[in-house]
Each structure stands twice: as structure tokens, then as C-alpha cells.
Chains A and B, each alone.
Chain A
């Protein structure tokens, strides 16, 4: 019988499932055996069943400019991406080190600013950072934690090493997909889990809730935690609902909350009820029209007054955006050394800062080989992929770089690892990254695995869902 992987050629770089000589990696042997036992027809039926699961669950996004309101699912590829226990141990240690350092950094720059005063990081990078909230300097946050939930994007290079590509310390999204991908795969291919020792993910909502309770202002009784969403038209609304429900906390919109005498209340059918902790999925800019954008209809007027008074905790804290600025990223290894006196366990990708004269020269000379990113954009926007860009795009970016160097960084193209992915006709290698979710409460907790995003277009390195990316279940093996 032909098997699904017949004719699959591992890529010359790093393939997540196969060795360079074409033999299967030992960690993937048992899952390959299961797939080998399926005919293409069976496989496709099961894949269709998992697609239907996503559609019926409403795990979809809207296609804009479509009057019928057609909804599409985020493409899910059934071939899991596997991490060995040893690989995970390494990642876990590296990510823990990183979130601790980032939090120490945030505490420092919102208080004494030692790291700026002694010139370890040039002051102007913080002062001019778009998301540095100078007005909050001097304010203490509960337990001194700023980034409670971090989604760091990791990539594996051709050398098999993991690198950190960026940290998302504002409102990282995608955790629900990590959980639902596992649910979908378990339903469609239960046999995969019978033969492999995969660590479960279901602790995520529990750990999230533990963290929220941990940061609550102290008072009598159980803390009241809520999830604040921009509303049902937001593309991540499914995730907000999902997480709120899994945690068993109310999901609220800005209009559900009122601030009275520096305390936050929600409007219930029995009157006003006090709120202690807000897991907010609204960016700083929109969270309180009194302090930030005046035109925001999504936020809660007066929320910052309650926050400053210490009567309500926010996860993540206000002003964390300065740490996931792509320029600040380059300094994270320095922060680790500075605050922890350790060498970074997970390296950064080599990065050039356009604001450094020497670097800018290099960038401008090598644009066709580099990836240029705007410091404060996410979702794959505001980016130049040098090798695939047109002449005009390159010249446009050249002008932007010269005009506003503080806002750009450049990196060599990392040849992301590939993972076998079903194209509809065959298994073929596609580039993947990995976004683990780190929770920082009483301890640092990282749910084993993360969201593996896959660039579905052959050869493409852009994995963002808004740019045609899909995702896979991510396995961390017990041994």
C-alpha cells in the first residue's frame, strides 16, 4: 500500500520530522506508523471531520468585504509538530529566564531606571519608545509583575537551534487555538495519542486563573476576576469567550463596567458588583478614554484611576508594550546579563538597529537579503521580506528607514525549519514557527508545547494567520 509520506523529500534545512538522510526522527516514529496505516481517503475524511469540528464550534474568522458574512476556519494541519522532552526542558528554562528578566526590566524603567542611568541601554530607546507610558513611572503594580502572559515567537534555524524572534507582552493571542487544535486532533486521530506519550495541555486555563487570583488586591472574600474584550466583532472574540468559559469567569465589554470612587464595578441584574482583577484583551490605547485615546468606545472611563489607586489589577499591566518593541528586543540578552547575571539560554536572531549609524549603513547596503520590520507592528504587517520583495518595495523601505530609523530593525532571513504538511494532494514541507505561552504569577508556568504556526504557501516564511498561515498541534513528549 502507498503511504502518505511516500515521495516526501525532507528539506535541505532542518526538517521537524525527518533526518537529512530521509529516515524518520525517532521522536516521530510512532506517529508516522499511525499515519502509515491510513489510506489517503481515510486521512482526508478524518481531516474533513476536524475541519467540520472547527466550523461547528465557530472557531472561525470573518472574511472582510463579504456581504454574506462568510466565515472561514483557520487552516489546521493534522500532522503534529513534535518536541522531545530534552528540547522542551531547554526551551522552558530559556523562556522562564527571559520573562523574569523582562519583568525586572519593566520594573526598573518604571522606577529608578538603573539600566538607563548607567548607560547599559541608551536612554533614548526607552524615552522615544511608542509604548513607554512615562505617566505611570513610580506606580507600583501588584507583586511587581508587569507581563503576566507572554507569547514569545521562536524559530528553529537550519542548525537545529531555537532562536527567539520576538516577545509579545501586550495581549498575545492564540492560546485557545493551541487547546482546540489538540481537541480537534484527538477527535479526528485518536490512535495518534494511544501510541505516543504526549503531555496534556488542559492546565492552561487553570494556571491562568491562578495567576489572576494571585495578583488580586487583598480584601475579604474570593477575588472577582473578569476578562475584558473589545467585543464580538474582534477577530479574537472566540478566544476571549473560550478562555473566560474555561476559567469560569465573566467576559465583559467596556460598557459592562463602571468606575465609582476609584473602584471598578460590573453592571449585573442585581446591581453593581465589585471587580478585582481584569484580564484585559484591549490594548493600552483603548482601555480608558479619559487617559488614552479619547475616541475609544471600547474602554472604561476612569479605569486608570482605579488602577493607580491599587483597587484593581490588570493583566497584563499598562505600559508593557515598551518591552516587546522590536528595538528593545535586541537588548533582552543584555537585560538577562544585567539583572540575572546569567548568559541567555535562548539566543536572539542577529539584529541590526537602523538607529545605529553603522547598522543602518549595513542595512541599506543589504536590503535584498534582509527582513526589515517596523518596531511596533505585529501580525506580519509593516514588514519587508528582502529576498522576495520587488524593487519598488525595497526603495519604499529605504526611504522609510532613512526618514525614521528609530522605528526599524533588520534581521538576516532565518531559514525556518519545515514540517510535513498536507497540501490537499500530498505531504510537502512547509516552514513553521512556535509560540509558547508563558504565565507569570506565583511561579512561571508554561503549558508544554505552544502554537505551531505554519506558512501554507510553499517556500513562504510568513506564518501569521492574517497572511494565510495555518497551525498544527504541538507535542511535547514525556520522555
Chain B
């Protein structure tokens, strides 16, 4: 498979996953705020800004909106094309990726993503976001589910799939850590129980949580489920084990061994997750621990690119001109710009 194609499939899934997670988060947060005492716009904003902070987009936000109202934050996260991590930006980017590798995708898969794109670009979408936000976010999430379903029933389980699955799970692991990290940024007055409820709901994990624990949602138990569960599909451990499987399927190297740094670091993270316990993890502080995971996820992403797209070991030794490498770097740089 062409390196560029593999990279594009990988990013397509990351963008779809990113958009889906943001849609969940906003939807749940909106529902939640309805339950609370009436808040003025400024206090409301305090409950929206943590989402921006946890995504690391706060400087762009203040550049565009200053302090702004809660409605501005929602806009920024949802359909502001100037924010490369807004739902709409991510889906447009995913669709652009799909367009460039259209020949690799089933018609149905392309049509689903393209239809979502056409909808988001329509005046109908604008009206729906204004008049009926739950319907708007629900429609996006449903479409993403459909996309994932079509992908899993139409895409051949070869290299292309491995790169897609890798992108999906690396992004999902990262997003789960960011959901958890929102608690770091909430105002001290925030009712914590409700907040942890929201996190569990955003991950669609309420059913799984209830099956394990009766009573109130407790932060420690939420962390245990969302970080250490071996079986819950959005837990960090589950996602990273899928990342590990994909990496080994791609390289053909044995589990327990590694052929490049992406596999090595993934293996190290898996050791931490397979044999770690939640109390130990929380000892250094939740935020610090999550930050540590996110840094490793970033490195894994970079190393995948190095091994399969840039291939300095192949290109540098055989290709006299450096131009192609520079072009690829420039392109990757552009991709990175879009993801930060």
C-alpha cells in the first residue's frame, strides 16, 4: 500500500473519531447544564471552557473570541471553521482525506461521509444547530456510527484496515484521557458528582459502569473503568491493545518484540495499563498522569509516520535528491497544523 494512502486512511479515522468525541461531549454537557440551577452566561462559560482547555485550543479561542459567552464556546467547538478541531472542521478534513483515497473506500462508506459533509455545509444544518441542538449532535453521532458500521462490514481486513483501526483507537484513547482531564479545569464551585456523571455519559459508559458498581458515580471507579478496563471499548487500555495489535499486524513482528519505536512505546504503555492499578496511577495526580499518557500517544503517532511514510532508512540511502522527503515533511507539517 502507498505510504501516503496509509497515512491518509489513518488520519481520516482520527478526524472522524475526534469529531464524534466532541459531539458527545457537547451534547452531554448541554444536557447536564439544563439540570443545574440557572446560571448566567459568564458562569455558564466556566463550564464550557474546560472542554477548550482540555483540548489545548485555549489560545486560539481567546484570539478569536476574547472571553466571550458560552454560546461562543459552543460555536467555537462545533462549527467554527477557523478552529481546526471543531466538529465541522474535523469532518471536512476527514471527508477531504476520503476524497483523496476514494479508490480505497467502498461506495457506501464514501457516500455516508460525503452526505454528512453535504448536510453540514447546508443551511438546514445551520438552522438545526440554532433551533434543535440535540437533534444536530445526534445526527452527527448517528452518522459516525453508520460510518463505522459500514467500514467494519465493507473494508477488507488488510493493511488499509490496520491503518484505519490504528488511527481510530489511538485517537479514542487520547480523547478518553482528555474527557477525564476536564475535571482539572472545572471551577471549584462545580458539583463534582454531576460532572463525573457527565464524563461517563460522554463515553457512553453509563451502562458498563452500572453493571459493575451500584450507587453514586465515584471518580476513582470511573478512572478504573475508563483507563484500566480490559473489555470496555473506550477505555484507554482496550484502545491501546487495539493499537498494539494493529501495529504488529502492519509490521509482522511478534507481540512482546518490537520493530520500531511506535511498537516499543506502545508495549511500554501496555505494560503500565495491564499491570498497573488505579490508586498507583492517581498518586502523582490525575492531570499529571493523563498528561504523561498523552505525550506517549503523540510520540507513537510520530513514530508511525516515521516508519511507514517518511521511511528515512529507505529513502535516504537510495534516493540522491532530498526533495521528496522535504515534500513529505511539508505535508506532514500541514497535517499536524490541522490536528493541533
Residues of chain A whose beta carbon lies under 8 Å from any beta carbon of chain B: 55-58, 68-70, 231-232, 237-238, 241-242, 244-245, 250-253, 255-256, 258, 260, 266-272, 297, 301-302
Contacts and interface: CB of A to CB of B under 8 A. Distances in A.
B60 to A, nearest CB: 19
Contacts of B323: 301
24 contacts: A57-B111, A58-B102, A70-B121, A237-B99, A238-B102, A241-B99, A241-B102, A242-B103, A245-B103, A250-B103, A251-B103, A255-B4, A255-B327, A256-B2, A258-B315, A258-B324, A266-B2, A267-B309, A269-B2, A269-B6, A269-B250, A269-B308, A297-B327, A301-B323
B183 to A, nearest CB: 37
Contacts of B328: 255
Nearest 4 A-B pairs (CB), nearest first? A245-B103, A241-B102, A232-B100, A269-B308
B321 interface: yes
Contacts of B5: 250
B1 A269 contact: yes
A183 B6 CA distance: 30
Given A56-B111, A241-B103, A251-B103, A267 B311 contact: yes
B4 A267 contact: yes
A56 B115 contact: yes
B311 A271 contact: yes
Contacts of A253: 4
Contact of A302 (B103, B250, B321): B321
Contact of A267 (B3, B114, B163, B250): B3
Given A56-B111, A302-B321, 11 more contacts: A55-B118, A58-B99, A58-B102, A231-B100, A232-B100, A241-B102, A242-B102, A244-B103, A266-B2, A269-B159, A297-B327
B215 to A, nearest CB: 48
A91 B323 CA distance: 47
B334 to A, nearest CB: 12
Given A267-B315, A272-B318, A301-B323, A56 B118 contact: yes
Contacts of A237: 99-100
A369 B311 CA distance: 61
B224 interface: no
B interface residue count range (under 10 / 10 to 19 / 20 to 34 / 35 or more): 35 or more
A252 B2 CA distance: 8
A267 B305 CA distance: 13
Contacts of A68: 121
Interface in B117-172: 118, 121, 159, 163
A217 to B, nearest CB: 20
Contacts, number: 82
Nearest to A297: B327
A255 B100 CA distance: 14
B314 interface: yes
Contacts of A57: 107, 110-111, 114
Interface centre among A55, A238, A241 (most CB of B within 10 A): A241
Given A69-B121, A301-B321, A302-B321, A272 B314 contact: yes
B80 interface: no
A266 B4 CA distance: 10
A49 to B, nearest CB: 14
A216 B94 CA distance: 36
Contacts of A256: 2-4
B319 interface: yes
A58 B114 contact: yes
Nearest to A259: B319
B96 interface: yes
A180 B234 CA distance: 41
Nearest to B97: A232
A282 to B, nearest CB: 15
B331 interface: yes
Contacts of B324: 255, 258, 267, 301
Contacts of B321: 301-302
A242 B318 CA distance: 33
A255 B323 CA distance: 9
Contact of B331 (A56, A58, A255): A255
Interface centre among A242, A267, A297 (most CB of B within 10 A): A267
A266 B100 CA distance: 17
A245 B331 CA distance: 24
Nearest to B104: A245
A268 B2 contact: yes
A251 B100 CA distance: 9
Interface in B79-101: 92, 96, 99-100
Contacts of B327: 255, 297
A243 B3 CA distance: 21
Contacts of B96: 232
A250 B2 contact: yes
A301 B327 CA distance: 12
A58 B107 CA distance: 10
B3 A58 contact: no
Interface string B286-319: 0000000000000000000000110100110011
Contacts of B250: 269
A270 B251 CA distance: 9
Given A271-B314, A301-B321, A58 B110 contact: yes
Contacts of B99: 58, 232, 237, 241
B283 to A, nearest CB: 40
Contacts of A260: 318-319
Nearest to A70: B121
A269 B3 contact: yes
Nearest to B326: A255
A245 B102 contact: yes
Contacts of A250: 2, 5, 103
A250 B101 CA distance: 10
Interface centre among A68, A269, A272 (most CB of B within 10 A): A269
B97 to A, nearest CB: 9
Nearest to A261: B318
A297 B3 CA distance: 18
Interface centre among B163, B308, B331 (most CB of A within 10 A): B308
Interface string B22-63: 000000000000000000000000000000000000000000
A245 to B, nearest CB: 4
Interface string B1-17: 11111100000000000
Nearest to A229: B100
Nearest to B112: A56
Nearest to A255: B327
A227 to B, nearest CB: 9
A297 B1 CA distance: 23
A251 B104 CA distance: 10
Interface centre among B111, B115, B324 (most CB of A within 10 A): B324
A250 B2 CA distance: 8
Contacts of A302: 321
A176 B111 CA distance: 18
A352 B321 CA distance: 48
Contacts of B315: 258, 267
Contacts of A252: 2
A56 B99 CA distance: 12
A250 B163 CA distance: 17
B160 to A, nearest CB: 10
Contacts of B114: 56-58
A241 B318 CA distance: 29
Nearest to A238: B102
